Structure 1
């Protein structure tokens, strides 16, 4: 009976740790999700920045799996190079190890403070405060779970059965590594496995060599959940997660024969044997990153050979199931997923245009017409699908949501038209004629290109979450874009007056690109209109009536509150 109680306490503490991890992830995603995604997409233009982006994203989300899936989706949309994605995951692995080291730093006594502060913030009005509060509550629960794990493993010191089992593992380190990998995979968290190893280690029932073997297993098992989650994804996404698994597996199987020597070296460090699991976890991931980093390009090429390209994809809709029309909620969710896919196509078109603008690479522009054709077809399919849904009778709320989905799809289709008929022509002309903008003009256009991409990613988030603060922020962005376009035009005219040769040669091109990016941003901002309209913060016109502008006789003036 006593052993059953011990196991219940142990599994309960692990479950609390996993729940706390989930709350931290959800809270950070709610508060900073859009910024994290944008930062991760933008922070992969160099090896060091890629590593830092993976590290920061994982420490914030408390999940290397979430980071792996996020960067895999970026590779799938060709926003991140495969080689950089592998470096991002090396940073994510180190981020997980640093998180474990921080969690084990003896701060369990702060748990009530984190939970109390988190609850206070969660009751705040803004989404950011609620997300931050939820994250703090999750951190508090994680620290509390450490205390419970320590209490649960205390009786294990005198357990004869556990001592016999540990003895078997101590004589078979490969089995111990696989056992630990199964635990990490089952819990979908290498951090949970490391914390459990730390608790058992503190009970004094694990030898140093066995601790290293178990830590290696936790690293191996932690790389499997992203692979499983990406199995239904594209070949590009699978290459990223499988490549990370191969790197970790090679590192673990290489380090396993040296576990005894590694344990002896770690015991000589001044950190003390109590934190050997987290110290070994951090040391292993740092050394793995240092060794694997130079081979990231070779790994990306190898994964392209191991994972063949997908068969030619169907350009038709993926989620518009006629059978779901009988359930409006499900049908609207499917239409939303389809329109998000249209947004991803637009993002790819913008990325190709921006890259071609920067590099004068006409090859990247060749994909834009077929992508725009897919956008046209999909938005038409969405409109037909939702029109069929409307004939079945919808509630007022579902009817409004249906109209919002159609409106966003139409705006995305208009953006595709602007890219194909406007930006494509202008960027092609720049590259074909070898035209060069002035340094200031090039910087202004590059900044507006990047801002447009960032705004589109935020708009995708708003479309799904209907987040009110983000919608208000998006409306403010419209004013910022208008200001940037006006100031860039004025500075361009000044450069023309100064007789600068580059500005004279690219005058119409500069102004046309500015105009088209401004139009694209206007369509992007439209995603916020329904949300603000529902809140009563959007008026039909910003123009004051003529009657308001004309002076009225004193006796006839109408008092306005």
Structure 2
């Protein structure tokens, strides 16, 4: 029973270590994420700068995966070549070892101080740099606290015959240690946590020095497997070049180092009295030697990867998001800008739909591709809403929350306007020729002019969505009265034809009225997408058009 309780305590300490690592990563990303990306982007001109930048950024983030995703984002937009991208990953692998070096010393006594300082900083307003740094400092304190707990828990486990027998069986074959640590690192998504756990095991003599080094090799292998197994770009082989290249250089290093483990472990055990320090030094030395070996060979290595994974000439998918950067989700303020930029694409697609409706007036069939445009709008709306829903909004200010809601409103209204255009307006526009009744050319020209006015309003809404100018919002909102008056005039004309008993023109007149109503409905969605949020923020939007208490305008105006 005591053994089971000890294992539960061990699992809890490992979970605390992982959570502390996560807090350090998210805190640094929120505080300096955009600046780290700029630094990384500026350093991609040559492999040496890229290596150093990758090492520095990863040392700050404590996540080579996060660094890899940043570089993958640059590579996906064609902003970086494969050689500097691979150099960044070599630096990132070294950067993850630096925190291990720091924590290999006995500095657990500063854990309460770090948590206290982090708590004071975290009390600052959300969204401030101090608030985000407080999260990172608390995370570092939790990591030290978890390491101290691990060391205390290892003492009773050291005398456990069950655990010793299990680890003795595992340690007989170093390759088994490698695979075990690789799977554990893949599951934890943190090579830092696994290496720190191995250090604790080695310091208490629960695993031999050779087994500890094999476990470190496995941790390096598992951290390189994560981006390849869980990253995007499965449709495009070229997107897998960098993660595959990073994994293969780890495999090459493992093949060379594995036979040397008996000699290395014996030599380091004889020269160093602290097994935990020996594990940390081996971890850093392995990645430094790997970087030194591969940096000069990156050009031919990149050529080989391009030959294995050539570019795929795939047709462009208009519904594929272009600006929803997955890395930016870790910095929600940046992610809001990405989502807003993607939302503007929906306005462009809707404008194409309106142009198709104008072309369909009186035609025998709608223009080609209009159905696909409606599908593009729906898929973009789903992608943007899913992207925003995945954001960690804890660090957003009140203004950021308001902007998030405005983006969701814009996306939803554009999607609904597209549905009206595709499923109602386009069929009505194509019905004119089926009526078999003469349609006055002046009537069609009137509809075309109204569609042109709707297109101008759509462009104004897209501009207003970015500028949030209340003057433009008022101009756009006033357009609703114009379209309402046009529909009213069309209704009166239709009723006049009915009264005059002109059966030849009644069908065309009714269809003409339907077109005006469709266009008015789309314009209402356009106004609600961009004008209403701005007017509501400035207190210029009434909650209802109905007068309070059923009073007439004369009674309201009376003194």
Q: Closer, same or farther in 2 for the Cα pair 1:87/1:147, shift >3 Å?
A: same
TM-superposed deviation, 1:229: 2.4
Moved over 6 A (4+): 333-336, 377-381, 383-386, 396-399, 403-408, 530-536
State the shift of 1:47 in Å.
1.7
Superposition RMSD in Å: 4.0
Judged with a 3 Å threshold, the aligned counterparts in structure 2 of structure 1 residues 74 and 385 are, in CA distance, closer, same or farther, namely closer
Kindly indicate whether residue 179 of structure 2 is the aligned counterpart of residue 188 of structure 1: no
* SS at structure 2 position matched to 1:150: helix
Counterpart residue number, 2:225: 224
The verdict on how the C-alpha distance between 1:252 and 1:42 changes in structure 2, with shifts beyond 3 A counting, is: same
C-alpha separation in 1, matches of 2:194 and 2:379: 50
Partner of 2:258: 256
CA distance in 2: counterparts of 1:287 and 1:164, whole angstroms? 34
Distance of 2:63 and 2:112 partners within structure 1: 23
Say whether residues 1:401 and 2:402 are aligned partners. no
> What displacement does 1:87 show?
0.8
1:99 Cα deviation after fit: 1.4
Cα–Cα, structure 1 residues 220 and 318, in superposed 2: closer, same or farther, change >3 Å? same
Residues of 1 paired with 2:211 and 2:56: CA distance? 31
Distance 1:407 1:44 in 2: 40
The equivalences for 1:332-343 within 5 A come to 337=339, 339-340=341-342
Report the equivalent of 1:122. 122
Once residues 405 and 51 of structure 2 are traced to their aligned partners in structure 1, the CA distance between those partners, rounded to angstroms, is: 45
C-alpha separation in 1, matches of 2:321 and 2:46: 36
Is contact 2:16-2:142 (8 Å) kept? yes
> 8 Å contact 1:382–1:406 — kept in the other structure?
no
Shift of 1:134: 0.6
Aligned residues: 372
Distance 1:340 1:244, change over 3 A: farther
Pair 1:51 & 2:72 matched: no
When Rg is computed on C-alpha atoms for both structures, the one with the higher figure is 2
Per the alignment, residue 277 of structure 1 pairs with 279
Q: Deviations over 1:267-297 (max 9, x none)?
A: 3545733312111101111111111111111
Alignment of 1:211-360 (within 5 A): 211-232=212-233, 234-269=236-271, 272-318=274-320, 337=339, 339-340=341-342
Cα separation, 1, equivalents of 2:189 and 2:286: 20
Give the gaps of 5 or more residues in structure 2: 323-334, 346-371, 385-401, 415-465, 469-531, 539-559
Once residues 534 and 132 of structure 1 are traced to their aligned partners in structure 2, the CA distance between those partners, rounded to angstroms, is: 35
Gaps of 5+ in 1: 321-332, 344-376, 390-395, 409-462, 467-529, 537-561
What's the CA shift for 1:168?
Answer: 1.6
Cα separation, partners in 2 of 1:531 and 1:265, compared to 1, 3 Å = farther
Matches within 5 A, 1:80-99: 80-99=80-99
- Check 1:252–1:534 CA distance in 2 against 1; reply closer, same or farther (3 A cut): farther
Match of 2:557 in 1: none
Q: Alpha-carbon deviations, 1:30-61, whole Å to 9, x = none? A: 11010011111111112211011100111111
* 1:378 CA displacement: 9.5
TM-score relative to the length of structure 2? 0.60
Distance, in Å, in 2 between the alignment partners of 1:532 and 1:43 is: 40
Report the alpha carbon displacement of residue 301 of structure 1 after superposing the two structures with TM. Answer: 1.4
Shift of residue 340, structure 1, vs aligned partner: 4.1
What is the TM-score of this pair, normalised by structure 1? Answer: 0.59
